[in-house]
Structure 1
Amino acid sequence: MDVLIHLFVGLHIVGIASLLGGFLTQMKAMGRGEARFVPAMLHGALTMLVTGAILVGLNQADNQHVNNIKIGVKLALLIVILGLVYVKRDDEKVDKSLFGLVGALTTANVFIAVLWT
Protein backbone atom coordinates (compact mmCIF):
# COMPACT_ATOMS: atom_id res chain seq x y z
CA MET A 1 0.00 0.00 0.00
CA ASP A 2 2.88 2.38 0.76
CA VAL A 3 4.20 2.12 -2.80
CA LEU A 4 0.77 2.99 -4.18
CA ILE A 5 0.43 5.96 -1.84
CA HIS A 6 3.90 7.23 -2.79
CA LEU A 7 3.07 6.81 -6.48
CA PHE A 8 -0.01 9.01 -6.13
CA VAL A 9 1.88 11.56 -4.02
CA GLY A 10 4.35 11.82 -6.89
CA LEU A 11 1.54 12.28 -9.41
CA HIS A 12 -0.04 14.89 -7.12
CA ILE A 13 3.27 16.79 -7.12
CA VAL A 14 3.40 16.59 -10.92
CA GLY A 15 -0.07 18.17 -10.99
CA ILE A 16 0.94 21.04 -8.71
CA ALA A 17 4.10 21.54 -10.76
CA SER A 18 2.04 21.80 -13.92
CA LEU A 19 -0.40 24.29 -12.40
CA LEU A 20 2.23 26.44 -10.73
CA GLY A 21 4.65 26.12 -13.65
CA GLY A 22 1.96 27.29 -16.06
CA PHE A 23 1.34 30.27 -13.82
CA LEU A 24 5.03 31.14 -13.51
CA THR A 25 5.61 30.97 -17.27
CA GLN A 26 2.90 33.61 -17.72
CA MET A 27 4.29 36.07 -15.15
CA LYS A 28 5.96 38.30 -17.74
CA ALA A 29 2.78 38.31 -19.83
CA MET A 30 0.80 39.12 -16.68
CA GLY A 31 2.90 42.25 -16.24
CA ARG A 32 1.92 43.33 -19.75
CA GLY A 33 -1.74 42.42 -19.17
CA GLU A 34 -1.60 39.59 -21.71
CA ALA A 35 -1.60 36.53 -19.42
CA ARG A 36 -3.83 33.58 -20.22
CA PHE A 37 -4.59 30.25 -18.62
CA VAL A 38 -2.57 27.68 -20.54
CA PRO A 39 -3.79 24.07 -20.91
CA ALA A 40 -1.08 22.83 -18.53
CA MET A 41 -2.77 24.77 -15.71
CA LEU A 42 -6.13 23.09 -16.31
CA HIS A 43 -4.56 19.65 -16.62
CA GLY A 44 -2.48 20.22 -13.49
CA ALA A 45 -5.51 21.26 -11.46
CA LEU A 46 -7.48 18.23 -12.66
CA THR A 47 -4.55 15.96 -11.85
CA MET A 48 -4.38 17.41 -8.35
CA LEU A 49 -8.11 16.88 -7.83
CA VAL A 50 -8.10 13.24 -8.96
CA THR A 51 -4.87 12.23 -7.23
CA GLY A 52 -5.85 14.08 -4.05
CA ALA A 53 -9.15 12.21 -3.85
CA ILE A 54 -7.36 8.92 -4.46
CA LEU A 55 -4.79 9.74 -1.77
CA VAL A 56 -7.48 10.43 0.80
CA GLY A 57 -9.13 7.11 -0.02
CA LEU A 58 -5.85 5.18 0.07
CA ASN A 59 -4.82 6.73 3.39
CA GLN A 60 -8.18 5.94 4.95
CA ALA A 61 -8.06 2.39 3.59
CA ASP A 62 -4.61 2.02 5.17
CA ASN A 63 -6.06 3.15 8.54
CA GLN A 64 -3.97 6.32 8.57
CA HIS A 65 -5.31 9.50 10.15
CA VAL A 66 -6.69 11.99 7.63
CA ASN A 67 -7.27 15.58 8.74
CA ASN A 68 -10.64 16.17 7.10
CA ILE A 69 -10.67 19.91 7.86
CA LYS A 70 -7.31 20.37 6.13
CA ILE A 71 -8.45 18.29 3.16
CA GLY A 72 -11.69 20.29 2.99
CA VAL A 73 -9.84 23.61 2.93
CA LYS A 74 -7.44 22.35 0.26
CA LEU A 75 -10.35 20.99 -1.78
CA ALA A 76 -12.24 24.29 -1.54
CA LEU A 77 -9.20 26.22 -2.78
CA LEU A 78 -8.65 23.74 -5.60
CA ILE A 79 -12.29 23.93 -6.70
CA VAL A 80 -12.04 27.74 -6.90
CA ILE A 81 -8.78 27.43 -8.88
CA LEU A 82 -10.24 24.79 -11.18
CA GLY A 83 -13.41 26.80 -11.73
CA LEU A 84 -11.53 29.97 -12.64
CA VAL A 85 -9.11 28.20 -14.96
CA TYR A 86 -11.87 26.16 -16.62
CA VAL A 87 -14.21 29.10 -17.23
CA LYS A 88 -11.48 31.42 -18.54
CA ARG A 89 -9.41 28.79 -20.43
CA ASP A 90 -10.39 30.03 -23.90
CA ASP A 91 -9.94 33.75 -23.21
CA GLU A 92 -7.01 35.34 -25.03
CA LYS A 93 -6.29 37.61 -22.07
CA VAL A 94 -7.19 37.20 -18.41
CA ASP A 95 -7.42 40.08 -15.96
CA LYS A 96 -4.24 40.52 -13.89
CA SER A 97 -6.06 40.27 -10.58
CA LEU A 98 -7.84 37.06 -11.58
CA PHE A 99 -4.63 35.51 -12.85
CA GLY A 100 -2.78 36.59 -9.71
CA LEU A 101 -5.55 35.12 -7.56
CA VAL A 102 -5.02 31.70 -9.15
CA GLY A 103 -1.29 31.93 -8.41
CA ALA A 104 -1.90 33.03 -4.83
CA LEU A 105 -4.45 30.29 -4.17
CA THR A 106 -2.13 27.68 -5.69
CA THR A 107 0.74 28.84 -3.51
CA ALA A 108 -1.54 28.89 -0.46
CA ASN A 109 -2.60 25.32 -1.25
CA VAL A 110 1.06 24.23 -1.29
CA PHE A 111 1.81 25.90 2.04
CA ILE A 112 -1.32 24.45 3.64
CA ALA A 113 -0.19 20.98 2.55
CA VAL A 114 3.31 21.47 3.96
CA LEU A 115 2.78 23.55 7.09
CA TRP A 116 -0.59 22.37 8.46
CA THR A 117 0.22 19.38 10.65
Structure 2
Amino acid sequence: MTSEHRALTRAGTDHEAISREVNAILSEFPDDRLAELVTEGDRVAAFVLGQAYESGIDRPVNLERALALYTLAAEPVETERTFYQAPVGSEGYGSTVSTPTRVVTLPAALSARDRVAAMLATQHGD
Protein backbone atom coordinates (compact mmCIF):
# COMPACT_ATOMS: atom_id res chain seq x y z
CA MET A 1 0.00 0.00 0.00
CA THR A 2 1.50 3.36 -1.02
CA SER A 3 1.66 6.35 1.30
CA GLU A 4 -1.01 7.93 -0.90
CA HIS A 5 -3.41 5.07 -0.31
CA ARG A 6 -2.67 5.01 3.43
CA ALA A 7 -3.42 8.73 3.65
CA LEU A 8 -6.62 8.37 1.67
CA THR A 9 -7.75 5.36 3.69
CA ARG A 10 -7.36 7.41 6.85
CA ALA A 11 -9.48 10.14 5.29
CA GLY A 12 -12.66 8.04 5.44
CA THR A 13 -14.09 9.53 2.25
CA ASP A 14 -14.36 8.48 -1.42
CA HIS A 15 -10.80 7.20 -1.61
CA GLU A 16 -10.81 6.35 -5.28
CA ALA A 17 -12.11 9.76 -6.32
CA ILE A 18 -9.57 11.61 -4.17
CA SER A 19 -6.80 9.33 -5.40
CA ARG A 20 -7.73 10.04 -9.03
CA GLU A 21 -7.73 13.79 -8.38
CA VAL A 22 -4.34 13.74 -6.65
CA ASN A 23 -2.86 11.55 -9.39
CA ALA A 24 -4.23 13.95 -12.01
CA ILE A 25 -2.66 16.89 -10.18
CA LEU A 26 0.68 15.10 -9.98
CA SER A 27 0.54 14.26 -13.69
CA GLU A 28 -0.23 17.89 -14.60
CA PHE A 29 2.24 19.35 -12.12
CA PRO A 30 4.88 16.66 -11.47
CA ASP A 31 6.92 18.88 -9.13
CA ASP A 32 3.92 20.02 -7.10
CA ARG A 33 5.04 19.78 -3.48
CA LEU A 34 1.52 20.48 -2.19
CA ALA A 35 0.15 17.47 -4.07
CA GLU A 36 2.95 15.33 -2.67
CA LEU A 37 2.05 16.47 0.84
CA VAL A 38 -1.59 15.61 0.18
CA THR A 39 -0.57 12.05 -0.73
CA GLU A 40 1.21 11.88 2.62
CA GLY A 41 -2.01 12.80 4.43
CA ASP A 42 -1.37 16.50 5.05
CA ARG A 43 -4.84 18.02 5.45
CA VAL A 44 -3.58 21.61 5.50
CA ALA A 45 -1.88 21.03 2.13
CA ALA A 46 -5.17 19.60 0.81
CA PHE A 47 -6.98 22.73 1.98
CA VAL A 48 -4.43 25.09 0.41
CA LEU A 49 -4.45 23.14 -2.85
CA GLY A 50 -8.25 23.22 -2.81
CA GLN A 51 -8.10 27.01 -2.50
CA ALA A 52 -5.76 27.17 -5.49
CA TYR A 53 -8.18 25.15 -7.62
CA GLU A 54 -11.20 27.11 -6.42
CA SER A 55 -9.65 30.51 -7.12
CA GLY A 56 -7.44 29.67 -10.11
CA ILE A 57 -4.18 30.66 -8.42
CA ASP A 58 -1.24 29.04 -10.28
CA ARG A 59 -3.58 26.56 -11.99
CA PRO A 60 -6.90 26.55 -13.86
CA VAL A 61 -10.13 26.76 -11.86
CA ASN A 62 -11.48 23.26 -11.24
CA LEU A 63 -14.32 23.17 -8.71
CA GLU A 64 -14.65 19.37 -8.78
CA ARG A 65 -10.99 19.04 -7.83
CA ALA A 66 -11.36 21.77 -5.19
CA LEU A 67 -14.32 19.92 -3.69
CA ALA A 68 -12.38 16.65 -3.54
CA LEU A 69 -9.45 18.35 -1.81
CA TYR A 70 -11.67 20.26 0.63
CA THR A 71 -13.48 17.01 1.45
CA LEU A 72 -10.16 15.36 2.28
CA ALA A 73 -9.06 18.38 4.34
CA ALA A 74 -12.35 18.42 6.27
CA GLU A 75 -12.08 14.84 7.50
CA PRO A 76 -11.62 14.63 11.27
CA VAL A 77 -8.42 13.02 12.53
CA GLU A 78 -7.23 11.88 15.91
CA THR A 79 -4.23 13.67 17.32
CA GLU A 80 -2.02 13.40 20.38
CA ARG A 81 0.67 15.83 21.45
CA THR A 82 3.75 15.05 23.47
CA PHE A 83 5.66 17.77 25.30
CA TYR A 84 8.98 17.78 27.08
CA GLN A 85 8.85 19.10 30.63
CA ALA A 86 12.15 20.57 31.78
CA PRO A 87 13.69 19.46 35.05
CA VAL A 88 12.24 21.13 38.13
CA GLY A 89 14.28 22.00 41.21
CA SER A 90 17.06 19.55 41.93
CA GLU A 91 15.78 16.94 39.48
CA GLY A 92 18.41 15.99 36.96
CA TYR A 93 16.03 14.82 34.27
CA GLY A 94 12.98 16.22 32.55
CA SER A 95 9.99 14.17 31.55
CA THR A 96 7.63 13.84 28.64
CA VAL A 97 3.95 14.60 29.04
CA SER A 98 1.33 13.42 26.55
CA THR A 99 -2.05 15.02 26.07
CA PRO A 100 -5.08 12.80 25.58
CA THR A 101 -5.95 11.80 22.03
CA ARG A 102 -8.64 14.01 20.57
CA VAL A 103 -10.41 14.42 17.26
CA VAL A 104 -9.73 17.64 15.38
CA THR A 105 -11.16 19.11 12.20
CA LEU A 106 -10.35 22.11 10.03
CA PRO A 107 -13.46 24.33 10.28
CA ALA A 108 -12.37 26.40 7.28
CA ALA A 109 -12.21 23.23 5.19
CA LEU A 110 -15.74 22.29 6.24
CA SER A 111 -17.03 25.70 5.16
CA ALA A 112 -15.10 25.61 1.89
CA ARG A 113 -16.36 22.10 1.10
CA ASP A 114 -19.98 23.14 1.68
CA ARG A 115 -19.53 26.36 -0.33
CA VAL A 116 -18.03 24.60 -3.37
CA ALA A 117 -20.59 21.78 -3.18
CA ALA A 118 -23.36 24.42 -3.31
CA MET A 119 -21.67 26.16 -6.24
CA LEU A 120 -21.45 22.90 -8.17
CA ALA A 121 -25.06 22.01 -7.37
CA THR A 122 -26.14 25.40 -8.71
CA GLN A 123 -24.08 24.92 -11.88
CA HIS A 124 -25.55 21.48 -12.47
CA GLY A 125 -29.09 22.60 -11.69
CA ASP A 126 -29.51 20.31 -8.67
Q: The TM-score by the shorter chain falls in which range?
A: 0.3 to 0.5
User: What TM-score do the two structures reach when normalised by structure 1?
Assistant: 0.40
Structure number with greater Rg is: 2
Question: Hey, which of these two has a bigger chunk of strand by percent?
Answer: 2
Structure with the greater relative contact order (CA < 8 A, sep ≥ 6): 1 or 2? 1
Question: Hey, which of these two has a bigger chunk of helix by percent?
Answer: 1
User: What TM-score do the two structures reach when normalised by structure 2?
Assistant: 0.38
